[in-house]
A and B are shown apart, each in its own frame.
Chain A
Amino acid sequence: MSAPDRDRSPDRDRSLEQFVDRTLRSLPLRKAPDELMSRVFIAIEKGATAAWWHRTFHGWPAAVKCVFLFVATGLAMLAIYASALVPLRLDMSSLQLNATSAVTLFKTMTTLRSSFFGSLPSLWIYIGLAVVVAVYLTALGIGAIAYRTLYASR
C-alpha cells in the first residue's frame, strides 16, 4: 500500500467521500444523442424483417423450435445408442505401423533441418533472428500506437 493510503485520516476520508458524493449526485443526466432512438428503431425493423434462421433461438417460430428439439433429441439418442453398439476393438498392428511412419518422418525432418542449418553461416542465422525480433517489435509498436491514437482516444 502506498504512503497516502497508509496516512489516510478517517475525518479527511469522510469529508472527501461526502464531497464526491454531493458533487456527483448533483450532476444532471447526460442528454442521449438524437440519433440513438432512430438507430434502435432501425435495428428493430431490421430484426423484424430478418428471416427466422438469422435470429437467435428465442426468435424462431414455435413449430421450428419443436422440430429442432425433436430432431436434436433423436440425434442425441441415436448417437448414444450407436456408441453402445460399436465393439471396443483396436487394431494394434495398424497403430504400430502409423507410429513407425511418424518416427521415420520426424527423423528425416531432423536430418534435413540439421543439414540446412549446418550449411548456413552462423552470422546469417543471427541476422535472421534479429530481423524476426525487429519485425515483431515493430508490429507490436505499430499496434500500440494505432490503439492509442485510433481507439483509446475516441
Chain B
Amino acid sequence: MQAYQDMVFSTIVRLTGNDSQAEDIAQEVFLKAYENFAHLRVSKSAGGWLKTVATHRTINYLSRYRNRWRLFSELRRDDEEEFEPPANMDTPDALLLALDAEQRHALVERCLRALPEAQRVPLVLFHFSSMPYEDIAQHLSISLSKVKVDIHRGRTALAQALSRSGVASAGGGS
C-alpha cells in the first residue's frame, strides 16, 4: 500500500484542491483496499484499482459536499464564474521554462488548486485520468456540452493564471 500512497494522494488532492480533505479520502481508500487485500496482493492492476477507487470516492465526496453547501458555494463562486479570459492570450511556455523545475511544479499546482471546482474537476479527470468527455459528464451528472465548456474555460484560466504568476515569479526571482 505504501508504494501507492503518493499516487492515491495526488489523484485525490488534485481533484479536491484541499490537503486535509484529500487525507481523509485517502484513508478511506486504503481501508477499502485493506478489505480487498486478498485480491489486490496478487493483482497486477492494484494501482489501477486504487486510482479508480480514489477517483470515484472523491467525486462522490465532492457531490455530497456540493449538495450540502450548495447555497454558500454558489455565493462564494459568483465572482469567480464571471472570469472571462482575453481572446488573444498565448500559452506561457517561455515563462514556465524560465523557472526551475521545482518552482514550475509548485506554480502549476498552486494555479490548478486556485481554479473553481467546476473547472478543476473535469480538467483533472481529462488530463490526469485520461477520462473521455462522455465519462466525465456521466460521473459528474452534467451535460456533455457543459463538460467541454468547463474544460475549455479551465484550460484558459489555468494558462492565464500561469502567465500572471509566472511573470510575478520571474520578476521576484531576478
Contact = CB atoms under 8 A, between A and B. Distances in A.
A20 B84 contact: no
Nearest to A147: B72
B121 to A, nearest CB: 13
A7 interface: yes
A29 B10 contact: yes
B103 interface: no
Contact of B149 (A1, A36, A44, A147): A1
B31 interface: yes
Contacts of A32: 5-6, 8-10, 23, 26
Contact of A30 (B2, B13, B84): B13
Interface of A: 1-5, 7-8, 13, 15-17, 19-21, 23-33, 36-37, 39-40, 43-44, 47, 58, 143-144, 147-148, 151-152, 154
Secondary structure at the A interface, as helix, strand, loop or mixed, is: helix
Secondary structure at the B interface, as helix, strand, loop or mixed, is: helix
B6 A4 contact: no
A36 to B, nearest CB: 6
Contact of A4 (B1, B18, B69, B84): B84
A13 B128 CA distance: 18
Contacts of A28: 105
Contacts of A25: 127-128
B76 interface: yes
18 contacts: A3-B87, A4-B84, A4-B156, A5-B149, A15-B91, A16-B155, A19-B91, A21-B127, A29-B7, A29-B9, A30-B9, A30-B14, A32-B26, A37-B1, A39-B23, A40-B34, A47-B31, A148-B76
A141 B15 CA distance: 28
B165 interface: no
Interface of B: 1-2, 5-10, 13-14, 18-21, 23, 26-27, 30-31, 34-35, 69, 72-73, 75-76, 84-87, 91, 93, 96, 105, 108-109, 112, 123-124, 127-128, 149, 152-153, 155-156, 158-159, 162
Contact of B23 (A8, A29, A36, A152): A36
Contacts of B123: 20, 24
Given A23-B96, A25-B127, A154 B20 contact: yes
A151 to B, nearest CB: 8
Contacts of B155: 16-17, 19-20
A40 B34 CA distance: 9
A4 B35 contact: no
A33 B23 contact: yes
Contacts of B5: 32, 36-37
